[in-house]
């Protein structure tokens, strides 16, 4: 997995997984920050592809727009990358290496704060040399407050390519960490099958059907209580995995739909006042309940299959050399 698109897809699927969704959405701001950051990372990558693939304009104003957009986009992507990691993997410590710091400095001087840039207490002004602008980069003149002047070549194409490679490396590292955590979690629960809680559900429904209409039902009372116990055991096992019934819309819907027929069927079998007024109605309730349990059992099997598998593997790119090709000429000292 070496492209930004692949990493983005993995993270998006991870963030929307039922178990992680519950944690992430608990803080609504973090939830929105996560997906805003993900969008910005992807959008900037798309913009950088457009910069690299398209011809550089001949008109001066358009050239400025390309340069301004590229440098600002790189800066935005770095901020988004840090906020993304903080949201989805808060224990991960990621700092900006010299490569990314150099890119930020080049952006600040050229299109961020060119008329008044303060570094370590020293003030300076900067300007892009108009005739130097090309697709490969531009020349930047800098004027420190304490006299002097120096020129620096900013290699825009190289900055784009190196930041893309570094962003992919960092995201790959984050994804690898999350994948290992997920692998450990699945290993912990893969032999505890959710579907096992439904082993006697079929037998329970047989007894309910058999004894509907009997004057003194015996096993059907046990059966309806067993159905409720199976449902409770299923919810508990989900909770052990960090999954709530509201994590899956399908589970939440089925759980809510089961509560009423279970309650009324138990009343009917105990000969207590109930909405069920006849044996035929009891069969209708039982049919509906059995359909819901069948669907829930199928979902449990699908979750078990997921836990028996390993998360999608990724390839970890090699770290980039952090050397830059800035060329500085100092004059007027």
Alpha carbon distance 218, 22 (integer Å): 42
What pLDDT score does 332 carry? 45
Residue 243: phi and psi, rounded to 5, are: -115, 125
Residues 6 or more apart from 6 whose CB is under 8 A from it? Answer: 314
Residues of the chain with pLDDT below 50 are 322, 327-333
pTM of the entire predicted model: 0.79
**Cα Rg of the chain (Å, integer):** 31
Do 189 and 241 meet the contact criterion of CB atoms below 8 Å apart? yes
CA dihedral 259, 262, 264, 266 (to 10 degrees): -140
Alpha carbon distance 297, 302 (integer Å): 9
Residue extents of the structural domains in the chain? 4-114+157-185, 190-308
Alpha carbon distance 149, 142 (integer Å): 6
For the stretch 34-57, pLDDT in tens is: 999 999 999 999 999 999 999 999
Alpha carbon distance 94, 84 (integer Å): 11
Q: How many residues are present in the chain?
A: 333
What pLDDT score does 318 carry? 58
For the stretch 89-114, pLDDT in tens is: 988 887 778 889 999 999 999 999 99
For the stretch 63-75, pLDDT in tens is: 999 999 999 999 9
What pLDDT score does 162 carry? 93
- Strands of the sheet containing 138-144, edge to edge, are 117-119, 122-128, 138-144, 149-154, 327-331
């Amino acid at each position: 997995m070496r492209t930004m698109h692949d990493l983005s897809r993995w993270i998006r699927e991870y963030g929307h997984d039922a178990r992680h969704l519950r944690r992430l959405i608990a803080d609504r701001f973090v939830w929105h920050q996560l997906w805003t950051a993900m969008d910005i990372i992807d959008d900037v990558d798309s913009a950088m592809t457009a910069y690299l693939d398209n011809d550089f304009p001949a008109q001066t104003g358009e050239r400025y727009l390309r340069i301004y957009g590229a440098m600002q986009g790189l800066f935005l992507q770095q901020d988004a990358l840090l906020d993304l990691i903080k949201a989805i993997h808060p224990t991960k410590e990621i700092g900006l290496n010299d490569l990314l710091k150099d890119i930020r400095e080049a952006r600040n001087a050229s299109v961020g704060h060119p008329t008044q840039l303060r570094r370590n207490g020293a003030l300076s002004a900067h300007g892009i040399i108009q005739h130097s602008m090309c697709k490969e980069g531009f020349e930047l003149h800098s004027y420190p407050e304490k006299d002097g002047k120096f020129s620096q070549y900013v290699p825009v194409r190289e900055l784009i390519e190196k930041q893309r490679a570094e962003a992919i490396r960092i995201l790959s590292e984050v994804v690898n960490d999350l994948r290992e955590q997920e692998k450990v979690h699945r290993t912990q629960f893969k032999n505890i099958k959710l579907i096992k809680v439904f082993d006697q559900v079929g037998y329970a429904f047989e007894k309910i059907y058999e004894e509907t209409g009997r004057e003194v039902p015996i096993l059907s009372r046990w059966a309806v209580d067993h159905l409720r116990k199976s449902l409770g055991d299923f919810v508990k096992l989900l909770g052990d995995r960090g999954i709530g019934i509201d994590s899956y819309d399908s589970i939440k819907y089925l759980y809510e739909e089961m509560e009423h027929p279970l309650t009324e069927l138990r009343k009917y079998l105990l000969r207590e006042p109930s909405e069920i007024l006849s044996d035929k109605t009891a069969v209708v309730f039982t049919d509906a309940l059995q359909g819901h349990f069948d669907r829930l059992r199928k979902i449990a099997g699908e979750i078990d299959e997921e836990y028996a598998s390993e998360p999608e593997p990724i390839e970890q790119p090699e770290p980039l050399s952090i050397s830059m090709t800035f060329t500085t000429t100092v004059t007027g000292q």
